[in-house]
Amino acid sequence: MSEVRIAAESRTEFGKGAAKRARRAGRVPAVLYGHGTDPRHITLNSHELMLALKTPNVLLRVDGLKGTDNLCLPKAVQRDPIKGFLEHVDLLVVKKGEKVNVEIPVTLTGEIESGGVLNQELTQLEVEAEATHIPEGVEYDIEGLEVGAQVTAADLKLPAGTALVSAPETLVLTISAERTEAEVEAETTEPGAEGEGAGESGGAAATETAEAAGSNE
């Protein structure tokens, strides 16, 4: 797993106003923590960080700070919910040889048997791996799977040196039968059709009752 070097600057101003000023200057507020050290508040170049985060579980080498414990993993990334720009990131200090828990993507390859519908229930798998050898993901070949098939986390073949953290029985995918035309039509039938008919019937019954009452008078 390659490292991405990124320059950091110490941050001495805090609060929403300071964070906005940093972002306007093309910087992202961040905090570096771990291994019993005091949290270090820094800013990173927003463009460089955005590019680095395109790689899942990217290993960052933060330059420009005192000390040697500047190898880290992004653990919490906050983005603007509308515009998507980076607002803040938490960086966990790691050491070579250290085990960490991370989530890696699950990728499916191949084609299932005709007549089936693939339902991927799990797209991220939690594993334990060496901090500097985190796998980019895990693949599972679905070629030839038939209706009724189920795959759990325990069925995935993890890379060497990686251990499963997610519950082994967690469903990764299922193969269900394609819906028939009748089932599709039944779902698209407008709800309340029967209720409308019942209303008309009820209205006729009420009219008959009223007429009967009038004749009795």
Tens of pLDDT, residue by residue over 10-27, are: 888 888 888 888 888 889
Is residue 196 over pLDDT 70? no
Q: How confident is the model at residue 100 (pLDDT cuts 50, 70, 90)?
A: very high
| pLDDT band for position 132 (cuts 50, 70, 90) | confident
Give pLDDT, residue 1. Answer: 62
Please determine, for residue 7, whether its predicted confidence score (pLDDT) is greater than 80.
yes
* Topology of the domain covering 101-177: RNA Polymerase Alpha Subunit; Chain A, domain 2 (2.170.120)
Cα 137 from Cα 131, distance rounded (Å):
14
Q: Is 61 within 8 Å of 70 (Cβ atoms)?
A: yes
CATH tag for 3-94 (out of 3.20.20.10, 3.40.50.300, 2.40.240.10, 2.60.40.1180): 2.40.240.10
What average pLDDT is seen over the chain?
A: 84
pLDDT higher than 60, residue 192: no
Tell me what pLDDT residue 83 has: 85
Look up residue 120 and give its two tokens. Answer: 């991927």
In the predicted structure, residue 210 carries a pLDDT above the cut 70: no
C-beta atoms surrounding 53 within 10 Å: 17
- Using CA atoms, how far apart are residues 153 and 176, in angstroms rounded to an integer? 18
101-177 and 3-94 share a CATH fold: no
Single-letter amino acid, residue 77:
V
pTM: 0.70
CB 152: neighbour CB atoms within 10 A?
16
Sequence spans of domains, the chain: 3-94, 101-177, 181-216
Segment 155-166 shows an average pLDDT of 95
Long-range contacts of the stretch 8-15 (C-beta < 8 A, 24+): 8/32, 8/42, 8/43, 8/44, 8/62, 8/63, 8/64, 8/65, 9/42, 9/43, 9/64, 10/40, 10/41, 10/42, 10/65, 11/41, 11/42, 11/43, 12/41, 14/41
Comparison of pLDDT for 175 and 83, the residue scoring more: 175
How far apart are the C-alpha atoms of 54 and 15, rounded to whole Å?
28
Q: pLDDT value at position 191? A: 64
Residue 47's pLDDT is 92
> Each residue of 65-76: pLDDT tens digit?
776 668 899 988
Residue 215 binned pLDDT confidence (cut-offs 50, 70, 90): very low
